[in-house]
Structure 1
Protein backbone atom coordinates (compact mmCIF):
# COMPACT_ATOMS: atom_id res chain seq x y z
CA UNK A 1 0.00 0.00 0.00
CA UNK A 2 1.15 3.50 -0.70
CA UNK A 3 1.05 6.53 1.53
CA UNK A 4 -1.63 8.04 -0.70
CA UNK A 5 -4.00 5.13 -0.26
CA UNK A 6 -3.65 5.03 3.52
CA UNK A 7 -2.82 8.45 4.97
CA UNK A 8 -5.02 10.40 2.62
CA UNK A 9 -7.98 8.04 2.95
CA UNK A 10 -8.18 8.20 6.74
CA UNK A 11 -9.77 11.69 7.04
CA UNK A 12 -12.10 11.24 4.04
CA UNK A 13 -15.23 10.37 6.03
CA UNK A 14 -14.89 13.31 8.41
CA UNK A 15 -14.06 15.69 5.56
CA UNK A 16 -17.22 14.64 3.74
CA UNK A 17 -19.36 15.79 6.68
CA UNK A 18 -17.54 18.64 8.44
CA UNK A 19 -15.53 21.64 7.41
CA UNK A 20 -12.08 20.81 8.73
CA UNK A 21 -10.22 23.83 10.18
CA UNK A 22 -7.44 25.17 7.96
CA UNK A 23 -4.85 24.40 10.63
CA UNK A 24 -5.90 20.74 10.72
CA UNK A 25 -5.80 20.55 6.92
CA UNK A 26 -2.26 21.91 7.04
CA UNK A 27 -1.31 19.43 9.77
CA UNK A 28 -2.65 16.51 7.73
CA UNK A 29 -0.76 17.69 4.67
CA UNK A 30 2.39 18.12 6.76
CA UNK A 31 2.10 14.56 8.11
CA UNK A 32 1.83 13.14 4.60
CA UNK A 33 4.60 15.38 3.30
CA UNK A 34 6.94 14.50 6.18
CA UNK A 35 6.26 10.80 5.77
CA UNK A 36 6.87 11.03 2.02
CA UNK A 37 10.11 12.95 2.34
CA UNK A 38 11.22 11.27 5.54
CA UNK A 39 12.13 12.80 8.87
CA UNK A 40 15.03 11.71 11.05
CA UNK A 41 15.48 13.03 14.56
CA UNK A 42 13.03 15.86 13.89
CA UNK A 43 14.86 17.05 10.76
CA UNK A 44 13.40 16.72 7.30
CA UNK A 45 15.43 15.07 4.60
CA UNK A 46 16.23 16.71 1.27
CA UNK A 47 13.26 17.49 -0.92
CA UNK A 48 14.12 16.73 -4.51
CA UNK A 49 10.93 18.19 -5.96
CA UNK A 50 8.53 20.81 -4.60
CA UNK A 51 5.27 19.84 -2.91
CA UNK A 52 3.15 21.91 -5.35
CA UNK A 53 4.43 19.67 -8.14
CA UNK A 54 3.64 16.51 -6.17
CA UNK A 55 0.00 17.48 -5.65
CA UNK A 56 -0.56 17.79 -9.37
CA UNK A 57 -2.49 14.94 -10.95
CA UNK A 58 -0.53 12.14 -12.56
CA UNK A 59 -1.82 13.35 -15.92
CA UNK A 60 -0.18 16.73 -15.22
CA UNK A 61 3.13 15.13 -14.23
CA UNK A 62 2.65 14.99 -10.45
CA UNK A 63 2.04 12.13 -8.04
CA UNK A 64 -1.59 12.98 -7.28
CA UNK A 65 -1.28 13.83 -3.58
CA UNK A 66 -4.29 15.76 -2.31
CA UNK A 67 -4.46 19.31 -1.09
CA UNK A 68 -6.54 18.50 2.00
CA UNK A 69 -8.34 21.85 2.17
CA UNK A 70 -9.46 21.66 -1.45
CA UNK A 71 -10.38 17.99 -1.04
CA UNK A 72 -12.51 18.88 2.00
CA UNK A 73 -14.31 21.58 0.04
CA UNK A 74 -14.92 19.22 -2.89
CA UNK A 75 -16.47 16.58 -0.63
CA UNK A 76 -18.71 19.21 0.96
CA UNK A 77 -19.68 20.55 -2.46
CA UNK A 78 -20.98 17.07 -3.18
CA UNK A 79 -23.25 17.37 -0.13
CA UNK A 80 -24.59 20.72 -1.36
CA UNK A 81 -25.11 19.24 -4.83
CA UNK A 82 -27.17 16.42 -3.30
CA UNK A 83 -29.41 18.98 -1.61
CA UNK A 84 -30.01 20.58 -5.00
CA UNK A 85 -30.48 17.33 -6.92
CA UNK A 86 -32.64 15.50 -4.40
CA UNK A 87 -34.81 18.14 -2.68
CA UNK A 88 -37.43 15.60 -1.54
CA UNK A 89 -35.04 13.58 0.64
CA UNK A 90 -35.40 13.96 4.40
CA UNK A 91 -32.07 15.73 4.91
CA UNK A 92 -32.81 18.27 2.18
CA UNK A 93 -36.32 18.95 3.52
CA UNK A 94 -35.03 19.31 7.10
CA UNK A 95 -32.28 21.77 6.18
CA UNK A 96 -34.62 23.73 3.92
CA UNK A 97 -37.19 24.06 6.70
CA UNK A 98 -34.59 25.38 9.11
CA UNK A 99 -32.27 27.51 6.95
CA UNK A 100 -34.04 28.53 3.74
CA UNK A 101 -37.79 27.87 3.95
CA UNK A 102 -38.79 30.45 1.33
CA UNK A 103 -35.74 30.47 -0.93
CA UNK A 104 -33.58 28.26 -3.07
CA UNK A 105 -30.30 26.95 -1.69
CA UNK A 106 -28.43 28.95 -4.33
CA UNK A 107 -30.20 32.23 -3.46
CA UNK A 108 -29.63 32.32 0.29
CA UNK A 109 -27.18 34.47 2.21
CA UNK A 110 -25.47 32.76 5.14
CA UNK A 111 -25.86 34.75 8.34
CA UNK A 112 -25.99 34.24 12.07
CA UNK A 113 -24.49 31.37 14.01
CA UNK A 114 -25.16 28.26 11.90
CA UNK A 115 -24.65 24.66 12.96
CA UNK A 116 -21.49 22.78 11.99
CA UNK A 117 -23.49 20.92 9.33
CA UNK A 118 -24.70 24.15 7.78
CA UNK A 119 -21.22 25.70 7.96
CA UNK A 120 -19.86 22.68 6.09
CA UNK A 121 -22.54 22.86 3.40
CA UNK A 122 -21.99 26.58 2.90
CA UNK A 123 -18.24 25.95 2.46
CA UNK A 124 -18.98 23.34 -0.20
CA UNK A 125 -21.60 25.56 -1.83
CA UNK A 126 -18.93 28.22 -2.45
CA UNK A 127 -17.15 25.79 -4.75
CA UNK A 128 -20.35 24.51 -6.30
CA UNK A 129 -21.55 28.02 -7.16
CA UNK A 130 -18.46 28.62 -9.29
CA UNK A 131 -19.48 25.80 -11.62
CA UNK A 132 -23.26 26.14 -11.65
CA UNK A 133 -24.81 27.09 -14.96
CA UNK A 134 -28.00 29.09 -14.63
CA UNK A 135 -30.72 28.25 -17.14
CA UNK A 136 -33.82 30.33 -17.69
CA UNK A 137 -36.17 27.44 -18.55
CA UNK A 138 -39.81 28.49 -18.17
CA UNK A 139 -38.88 31.59 -16.14
CA UNK A 140 -40.75 30.60 -12.97
CA UNK A 141 -37.56 30.48 -10.90
CA UNK A 142 -36.32 33.94 -11.97
CA UNK A 143 -36.28 36.50 -9.16
CA UNK A 144 -35.27 39.84 -10.64
CA UNK A 145 -35.25 41.50 -7.23
CA UNK A 146 -32.41 39.29 -5.97
CA UNK A 147 -29.15 41.02 -6.89
CA UNK A 148 -25.93 39.07 -6.70
Structure 2
Protein backbone atom coordinates (compact mmCIF):
# COMPACT_ATOMS: atom_id res chain seq x y z
CA UNK A 1 0.00 0.00 0.00
CA UNK A 2 1.26 3.46 -0.87
CA UNK A 3 0.02 6.55 0.99
CA UNK A 4 0.49 10.14 -0.13
CA UNK A 5 -0.29 13.39 1.64
CA UNK A 6 0.83 15.93 4.17
CA UNK A 7 1.98 14.96 7.64
CA UNK A 8 1.84 17.24 10.66
CA UNK A 9 3.58 15.81 13.71
CA UNK A 10 2.16 16.86 17.06
CA UNK A 11 4.10 16.92 20.29
CA UNK A 12 4.08 14.19 22.90
CA UNK A 13 1.16 13.44 25.25
CA UNK A 14 -1.72 14.53 23.01
CA UNK A 15 -4.87 14.05 25.06
CA UNK A 16 -7.59 11.83 23.52
CA UNK A 17 -10.08 14.66 24.09
CA UNK A 18 -7.99 16.69 21.67
CA UNK A 19 -7.92 13.93 19.05
CA UNK A 20 -11.72 13.74 19.04
CA UNK A 21 -13.39 16.32 21.31
CA UNK A 22 -15.93 14.74 23.68
CA UNK A 23 -18.73 16.98 22.39
CA UNK A 24 -18.65 15.00 19.10
CA UNK A 25 -18.40 11.46 20.48
CA UNK A 26 -22.11 10.81 19.98
CA UNK A 27 -21.79 11.55 16.25
CA UNK A 28 -22.49 8.28 14.38
CA UNK A 29 -21.19 9.49 11.00
CA UNK A 30 -17.46 8.74 10.68
CA UNK A 31 -16.88 11.42 8.03
CA UNK A 32 -18.52 14.03 10.26
CA UNK A 33 -16.37 12.83 13.14
CA UNK A 34 -13.22 13.08 11.00
CA UNK A 35 -13.97 16.74 10.26
CA UNK A 36 -13.63 17.51 13.98
CA UNK A 37 -10.49 15.46 14.53
CA UNK A 38 -7.78 17.62 16.18
CA UNK A 39 -9.88 20.77 15.73
CA UNK A 40 -9.15 22.13 19.21
CA UNK A 41 -5.40 21.79 18.79
CA UNK A 42 -5.53 23.07 15.20
CA UNK A 43 -7.43 26.34 15.75
CA UNK A 44 -4.46 28.49 14.84
CA UNK A 45 -2.47 25.92 12.89
CA UNK A 46 -3.10 27.46 9.45
CA UNK A 47 -1.96 30.85 10.70
CA UNK A 48 1.04 29.26 12.41
CA UNK A 49 1.97 27.43 9.20
CA UNK A 50 1.81 30.67 7.16
CA UNK A 51 3.97 32.50 9.71
CA UNK A 52 6.43 29.60 9.88
CA UNK A 53 6.68 29.47 6.08
CA UNK A 54 7.26 33.23 5.84
CA UNK A 55 9.95 33.08 8.54
CA UNK A 56 11.64 30.20 6.73
CA UNK A 57 11.58 32.10 3.43
CA UNK A 58 12.92 35.24 5.10
CA UNK A 59 15.87 33.32 6.55
CA UNK A 60 16.51 31.79 3.15
CA UNK A 61 16.66 35.16 1.38
CA UNK A 62 18.67 36.77 4.18
CA UNK A 63 21.30 34.04 3.86
CA UNK A 64 21.19 33.66 0.07
CA UNK A 65 21.40 37.37 -0.69
CA UNK A 66 23.57 38.28 2.28
CA UNK A 67 21.07 40.79 3.66
CA UNK A 68 21.92 42.58 6.88
CA UNK A 69 20.63 45.30 9.16
CA UNK A 70 23.19 47.66 10.61
CA UNK A 71 23.14 49.14 14.10
CA UNK A 72 22.73 52.58 12.47
CA UNK A 73 19.60 51.44 10.62
CA UNK A 74 18.17 50.02 13.84
CA UNK A 75 18.99 53.24 15.71
CA UNK A 76 17.30 55.32 13.01
CA UNK A 77 14.18 53.15 13.24
CA UNK A 78 14.22 53.37 17.05
CA UNK A 79 14.60 57.18 16.83
CA UNK A 80 11.63 57.32 14.49
CA UNK A 81 9.63 55.24 16.96
CA UNK A 82 10.76 57.45 19.84
CA UNK A 83 9.84 60.64 17.95
CA UNK A 84 6.36 59.24 17.25
CA UNK A 85 5.91 58.39 20.93
CA UNK A 86 7.05 61.83 22.07
CA UNK A 87 4.72 63.46 19.51
CA UNK A 88 1.84 61.40 20.90
CA UNK A 89 2.46 62.91 24.30
CA UNK A 90 2.65 66.51 23.11
CA UNK A 91 6.34 66.88 22.20
CA UNK A 92 6.30 67.03 18.39
CA UNK A 93 9.93 68.16 18.20
CA UNK A 94 11.92 66.42 20.92
CA UNK A 95 15.63 67.36 21.15
CA UNK A 96 17.99 65.12 19.12
CA UNK A 97 20.02 64.04 22.17
CA UNK A 98 16.82 63.02 23.97
CA UNK A 99 15.69 60.99 20.94
CA UNK A 100 19.10 59.34 20.64
CA UNK A 101 19.13 58.36 24.32
CA UNK A 102 15.61 57.01 24.17
CA UNK A 103 16.40 55.12 20.96
CA UNK A 104 19.34 53.44 22.70
CA UNK A 105 17.04 52.38 25.56
CA UNK A 106 14.53 50.98 23.08
CA UNK A 107 17.21 48.90 21.36
CA UNK A 108 18.62 47.76 24.71
CA UNK A 109 15.24 46.25 25.61
CA UNK A 110 15.44 42.68 24.32
CA UNK A 111 11.86 42.43 23.02
CA UNK A 112 11.64 45.91 21.50
CA UNK A 113 15.09 45.64 19.94
CA UNK A 114 14.24 42.28 18.41
CA UNK A 115 10.99 43.64 16.97
CA UNK A 116 12.84 46.53 15.35
CA UNK A 117 15.44 44.24 13.78
CA UNK A 118 12.71 41.83 12.60
CA UNK A 119 10.78 44.70 11.02
CA UNK A 120 13.86 45.98 9.22
CA UNK A 121 14.84 42.51 7.99
CA UNK A 122 11.30 41.90 6.74
CA UNK A 123 11.36 45.18 4.81
CA UNK A 124 14.73 44.27 3.27
CA UNK A 125 13.53 40.81 2.26
CA UNK A 126 10.37 42.23 0.67
CA UNK A 127 12.42 44.79 -1.30
CA UNK A 128 14.90 42.08 -2.31
CA UNK A 129 12.15 39.80 -3.58
CA UNK A 130 10.38 42.69 -5.36
CA UNK A 131 13.60 43.48 -7.19
CA UNK A 132 13.71 39.92 -8.55
CA UNK A 133 10.12 39.64 -9.67
CA UNK A 134 8.73 41.11 -12.84
CA UNK A 135 4.96 41.58 -12.87
CA UNK A 136 3.24 41.91 -16.21
CA UNK A 137 -0.43 42.57 -16.70
CA UNK A 138 -2.28 40.67 -19.35
CA UNK A 139 -5.94 40.90 -20.32
CA UNK A 140 -7.60 37.48 -20.56
CA UNK A 141 -11.13 36.34 -21.18
CA UNK A 142 -13.14 34.73 -18.41
CA UNK A 143 -12.76 31.34 -20.12
CA UNK A 144 -8.98 31.69 -20.39
CA UNK A 145 -8.81 32.80 -16.75
CA UNK A 146 -10.79 29.73 -15.69
CA UNK A 147 -8.38 27.50 -17.64
CA UNK A 148 -5.35 29.19 -16.06
CA UNK A 149 -6.88 28.88 -12.59
CA UNK A 150 -7.59 25.18 -13.12
CA UNK A 151 -4.02 24.58 -14.24
CA UNK A 152 -2.80 25.83 -10.85
TM-score normalised per structure 1:
0.24
Query: Relative to total residues, which structure has the larger helix share, 1 or 2?
Result: 2
- Structure scoring higher RCO (CA < 8 A, sep ≥ 6) equals 1
TM-score normalised per structure 2:
0.23
